[in-house]
Amino acid sequence: MVVAELRPWRAARPHVARFANAVRPRLARARAATAPRVTRWASATKPQVTRVGVNPWPYTAVAATAGLVLAAGVVTAAGPWDSSGQRTAERDRAAAQDGAGGADHGVGPGLAGAPRPAPSAASVLTGLGGAGNAVRPAPAGRDLAGVLDPLLAAPALGDRRGAVVVDLATGERLYGSGADKALVPASTTKIATAVAVLSALGADHRLTTRTAYDPATGKLVLVGGGDPTLTAREDSAGQAGLRTLAARTAAALKERGVRKVTPAYDTTLFAGPELHPIGVNDNIAPVSALMVDEARTDGSTSGPAPRAADPAADATRQFARFLNGHGIGTTDPAPGRATGRARTLASVQSPPLSALVERMVTDSDNDIAEALARHTARAAGERADFGGAGRAIRAQLKKLGLPLKGARFEDGSGLDRDGRLTAHLLTRLLLTAADPARPELRPTLTGLPVAGFTGTLSGRYADGAAGIVRAKTGTLTGVNTLAGTAVTRDGRVLGFAFLASGTADATAARAALDRAATALTASR
C-alpha cells in the first residue's frame, strides 16, 4: 500500500533534489535554532491520517517534500497533510530507509550525474527535535522597518499600500505599515475563503454527486453536489469520476430492468446568478452546483481556459454518453429536480475538503473558491449565492474573533474588485491557521505555493528565497498582493501580508513584492 502511494513522487524527484541542494545550508542553520519550537508544535498538531491511497493532486508531491526538507518551516509539518495520508506515509517510509536520501525513496539508483538525494525526512525531523539550543529572538521591529520601508516604498507598488509581518509562533507583530487600510486583496481573498469553509465544515468533509431515478416518469436526475473537481477523464486521479458514477448508475438501472431513461440535471444546491460579476471570463466558469472538469472545453486542468456556457447541461450530456456506453438509452437532457419519489441509485464523493482547499490555494483556483464559498453559505444557513457567501464568510471569521473592520467579501475568489481586506486581517488569518488548537485549518498553510516550485509561485524566486517563502499571490489590473510565510536565517517562521493598489506594471510590482518577501528570509 505504501509503495503504491509513493508513485507520484517519482516524477517529482529531480525538482525535489534541486530544491534540497539549494536549501541545505539554510536548513543546517535552522535545525539548531528551531528544535524546541518544532517539538512543541508537532506534538500539539500531530497529523490525522484518514485514509491511505494514491495522492489525488500531483503537485502535493513536491510541496510535501518541500515541507519535510524545510521542517524548520513548522507550518508545513503539522495538520491534516492530504486526502490520502500520503505525506505521513512518506515520512514513515523515509524513516525505514536506513540512510537513503529522501529523493530516492528506495526506488532504485538515480541517473548518472543527477543531483544528490535530498535528506530523508527522518534525519531532518530527528535533527530538529534533538538539538537543545535556545531559540533566538525574532527580528526586532526597528530592524525590519529599516529593511522593508525602502523596499515597500518602491514606485512599482503604486500609491496605496498595506503591510504587516508577524511571528507565527508568538503572534507578535514585527512590522506594520498601513496595516488597517482596506485594500483590494485580489486572490489573497482565498485565504479567508479557506479559513471560513474549513472552520464551518471541517477538513474531512466531502462533496457528493449522485443520481436519482423516478420509476413513475422514467426520469434519471444527475444531482449536483457543488463539486467543481468532478471529472470526466478516464483517470480520475483521486477525484470524483463521472465515468464511475455512470457505471454504477447503469448497473443499478439494469438490476431494475431499466434500459432507457430521460436524463435531467438538478443544480438547486446553489442559488442566484451563475455568472460572476466580472462577466464571461476565461478565469472562471459560471458558478453551478453541477460541472465537470470546471467546465473547461480545452482539456486543461488549471489556469485560464474557455468554458462551457451551461456547465450543468454540458456535464449531463457527457454523463448520458457514458450511460450509452453501458447499454442505457437516453434522450436529450433537460433541467429538472430530484423529487421525493426519486430514489438515489449511485453516488461519488470528492476528495476531502483539506485537499480541495490545498488545490484552491496552490493553483489559485477560482472555480473551487466560489464553490467553497457557497458551501460556507449553506453551512451558515445563508442563501448559496454571491451575497450569501460573502455574509457567511464574514460571519465565520467573526466567530473566530478576527478583525473585520473595513473588510468586504463580495466573492470567494477575489476576482470582484469591490472586495476589501486589510494586511492586519490577512496576517491574523495566517496566525489562526497556524494555531495548534485549530489543526482543521492547517490546509490553508500547507496549500500555500512554494516559491520557485509549485503553483502560482513556480516561476518566481529563481534566486534567493526559492523554497523558503510560501505565499498566496493576487493579481488584478492595478492590484498586486502577496501573503504567506517566510523562514528566517535563524529558523523563525514569519507570516506576512503585502497589499499594493494603483500599480502600473504587474511584472515590476511582483518583483518588488518578491524582494520584500525575500528580505524576510535574510533577517535574524
Continuous segment of H or E residues that includes residue 344: strand 343-349
Q: How far apart are CA 79 and CA 95, in angstroms?
A: 19
- Helix 59-69 / helix 2-44 crossing angle, nearest 10 deg: 40
Q: How far apart are CA 192 and CA 173, in angstroms?
A: 20
Q: How far apart are CA 285 and CA 1, in angstroms?
A: 37
Determine whether 364 is an active site residue: yes
Determine whether 190 is an active site residue: yes
> C-alpha grid cell for residue 333?
437532457
Pairing assessment for the beta strands 493-501 and 479-487 based on DSSP bridges: antiparallel
Per annotation, catalytic residue among 83, 84, 187, 288: 187
Q: What's the helix, strand, coil split of the chain in %, to 5?
A: 40, 15, 45
| Nearest of 475, 498, 523 to residue 153 by alpha carbon | 498
From the CA atom positions of the chain, what is the Rg in Å? 23
| Nearest of 213, 235, 207 to residue 346 by alpha carbon | 213
> C-alpha grid cell for residue 93?
517510509
With H, G, I as helix, E, B as strand and everything else as coil, classify residue 282: coil
Pairing assessment for the beta strands 343-349 and 329-330 based on DSSP bridges: unpaired
HSE on the CB side for 214, CA within 13 Å? 16
| Nearest of 303, 301, 304, 297 to residue 281 by alpha carbon | 304
> CB burial class (10 A; 0-12, 13-18, 19+) of residue 257?
exposed
Per annotation, catalytic residue among 364, 413, 501, 523: 364
Q: Kindly write down the DSSP assignment for every residue of 227-246, as one continuous string.
A: -TT-B-SSS-TTS-BHHHHH
Q: How far apart are CA 351 and CA 206, in angstroms?
A: 6
Per annotation, catalytic residue among 190, 354, 472, 523: 190
Determine whether 236 is an active site residue: no
Point out the residues that are catalytic.
187, 190, 364
